[in-house]
């Protein structure tokens, strides 16, 4: 990390941070409103969504993962979420994200913006409540007035813990 974008960077930097924050809020809202196709379309064609199963995991190829999905797999997951015999989602979950601590990192590929944020996701289904939380790391590519997600890594604090089934992305 070569530096953190801060208010010391002036109004320009603050506006940039605000644009990224709004994008992250928007992404979370799409999940919470079950607009999964719109969520998928935020990703670039080669976009990846990854949730490791070990703290500090280096990569998704030689250690197990909770989610590791390209656009193809996102498409299949969404088709399943829309299916009327998806037993794990009868009744469907309700979720609500709270996102904060958004920080931008400079450096790396100039074409991409790197953001780190913390999140809490409340989940309710069939009289059961769960709370997930952790850190998301986004690699965002500027696209028109907004961004598209090239890579999203989510480290939930209990990634190596014992979990019941889960079906929607964080």
Partner 1 sequence: MTAPEQSDVASLVETDRVHRRVYTDPEIFVLEMERIFGRAWILVGHDSQVPEPGDWIRTSIGLRDVVAIRGADGAIRVLYNRCPHRGMTVCVPAKGSGRRLVCPYHGWAFDTAGKLLGVPQPAGYEGGVDAGDARRSMAAVARVDSYRGFVFASLAADGPTLVDYLGDISDTLDNFCDRAPEGEVEAVGLPLRQTFEGNWKLHMENSVDTVHPGFVHRSSVEAAQGHISESGAAEDADQAIQMFNANGFTLNQWDSTDIHGYDGGHVYMDGFYRGGIIDPDRKDPVFQEYKSRMAAAYGEERTNRIFARETFNNLIYPNLSFNTRFQQLRVIRPVSVDRTDIHSYVFRLKGAPEEMFHTAVKFVSTANSPASPVLADDLAVFEQLQLGLNSEGSEWIDLSRRSGREEAFGNRGIRDKATSELPMRTMLGAWRRYMAAA
Which residues of this chain interact with partner 1, rule CB under 8 A? 51, 53-54, 60-68, 70, 72-73, 75-77, 79-80, 83, 85-88, 90, 160-167
In sequence order, what are the residues at sequence separation of 6 or more whose Cβ sits closer than 8 angstroms to the Cβ of residue 152?
43, 47, 48, 49, 50, 136, 137, 138, 139
Q: How far is the CB of 130 from partner 1 (least distance, A)?
A: 11
**Spatial distance between the Cα atoms of 141 and 55, rounded to a whole number of angstroms:** 26
**Spatial distance between the Cα atoms of 165 and 170, rounded to a whole number of angstroms:** 13
Q: How far is the CB of 9 from partner 1 (least distance, A)?
A: 38
The residue (of 110 and 128) whose beta carbon lies closer to partner 1 is 128
The residue (of 5 and 47) whose beta carbon lies closer to partner 1 is 47
Q: How far is the CB of 94 from partner 1 (least distance, A)?
A: 16
The residue (of 30 and 52) whose beta carbon lies closer to partner 1 is 52
Q: How far is the CB of 115 from partner 1 (least distance, A)?
A: 23
**Spatial distance between the Cα atoms of 36 and 81, rounded to a whole number of angstroms:** 9
- End-to-end Cα separation, the chain, in angstroms: 25
Contact 116, 12 (CB under 8 A): no
Q: For tokens 């790396």, what's the residue?
A: 108
The residue (of 42 and 60) whose beta carbon lies closer to partner 1 is 60
């Amino acid at each position: 990390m070569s530096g953190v974008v801060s208010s010391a960077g002036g109004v320009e930097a603050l506006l940039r941070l605000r644009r990224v924050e709004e994008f992250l809020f928007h992404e979370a809202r799409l999940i919470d409103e079950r607009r999964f196709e719109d969520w998928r379309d935020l990703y670039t064609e080669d976009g990846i969504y990854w949730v490791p199963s070990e703290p500090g995991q280096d990569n998704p190829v030689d250690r197990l993962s909770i989610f590791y999905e390209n656009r193809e797999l996102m498409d299949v997951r969404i088709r399943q979420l829309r299916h009327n015999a998806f037993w794990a989602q009868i009744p469907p979950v309700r979720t609500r994200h709270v996102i904060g601590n958004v920080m931008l990192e400079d450096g790396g590929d100039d074409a991409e913006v790197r953001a780190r944020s913390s999140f809490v996701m409340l989940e309710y289904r069939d009289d059961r409540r769960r709370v997930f939380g952790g850190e998301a790391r986004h690699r965002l590519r500027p696209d028109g007035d907004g961004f598209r997600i090239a890579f999203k890594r989510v480290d939930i604090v209990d990634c190596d813990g014992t979990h019941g089934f889960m079906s929607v992305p964080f």
